[in-house]
């Protein structure tokens, strides 16, 4: 490797500095490029997890605001991991979706009995340092009270319906084949 190649490689490996980033991102031509992309995409920029038409009452406690979103995505992940172990096959997706919907509902409008459980989890500082809570036992304990018996019944029903739909479509297919 010659000296120039070594220099090039070393430059490529060096982290870009702020002024270079500014020059790259807001230098000559950035706006024309941005307009071009905006015109081509023909849509609006937007991002972020939604809470629906009302902020959960627990969010009125400001320090808990960010944690509630972390808790929500962590519960969503935990319930998915749990349901995957149930081996529901085609029913897995509908079971998970139902569970997720109920989790969101419970966080948005917690029952008076649930509130102390949620607050206790939200106040546990050590849980909130990453995008997802890694303490699965804490999440499992909370899920046990977040999801009610009626929720579990509904999750089972939705999974069963998915399996039933699949079976029936297969039966019809076989029938048509034999006819």
Partner 1 sequence: MQRKIELKRGVDNTSVEAYLVDLVQRHVDDYVNYWVESLRLFSQEDKYWDWIFKLRYIDNQENLEGYAVECENKTQGLMIIETQMHGSRLNVGKRLVYVDGIATAPTNRIEIQRPPQFKGVGQALLNFARIRSVELGYEGRIGLHSLPRSEGFYEKQNMLNCGSEEEYDNLVYFEYGVLRRR
List interacting residues with partner 1 (CB under 8 A): 11-12, 15-18, 20-22, 24-26, 30-31, 34-35, 37-55, 59, 62-63, 65-66, 70, 73-74, 76-77, 80, 96, 100, 104, 128-132
> Which 3 state secondary structure label does DSSP give 61?
coil
Smallest separation, CB 40 to partner 1 (Å): 6
* Closest CB to partner 1 among residues 1, 41: 41
Smallest separation, CB 90 to partner 1 (Å): 16
Contact (CB, 8 A) for 126 and 68: no
* Closest CB to partner 1 among residues 27, 116: 27
> Which 3 state secondary structure label does DSSP give 22?
helix
Q: Is the dihedral of CA 144, 148, 152, 155 positive or negative?
A: negative
Task: Tell me how long the chain is.
Answer: 179
Smallest separation, CB 24 to partner 1 (Å): 7
Contact (CB, 8 A) for 58 and 121: no
Smallest separation, CB 43 to partner 1 (Å): 5
- Of 99, 108, 92, the C-alpha closest to 160 is 92
* Closest CB to partner 1 among residues 2, 18: 18
């Amino acid at each position: 490797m010659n000296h120039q190649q070594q220099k090039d490689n070393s430059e490529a490996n060096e982290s870009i500095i702020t002024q270079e980033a500014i020059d790259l991102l807001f230098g000559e031509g950035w706006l024309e490029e941005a307009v071009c992309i905006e015109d081509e995409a023909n849509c609006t920029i937007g991002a972020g997890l939604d809470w629906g038409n009302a902020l959960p009452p627990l969010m009125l406690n400001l320090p808990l605001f960010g944690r509630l979103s972390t808790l929500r995505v962590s519960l969503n992940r935990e319930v998915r991991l749990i349901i995957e172990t149930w081996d529901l096959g085609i029913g897995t997706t509908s079971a998970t979706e139902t569970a997720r919907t109920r989790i969101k509902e419970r966080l948005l409008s917690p029952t008076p009995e649930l509130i102390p459980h949620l607050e206790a989890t939200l106040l546990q500082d050590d849980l909130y340092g990453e995008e997802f809570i890694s303490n699965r036992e804490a999440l499992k304990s909370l899920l046990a009270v977040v999801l009610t018996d009626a929720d579990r019944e509904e999750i089972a029903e939705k999974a069963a319906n998915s399996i039933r739909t699949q079976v029936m479509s297969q039966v019809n297919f076989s029938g048509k084949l034999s006819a």
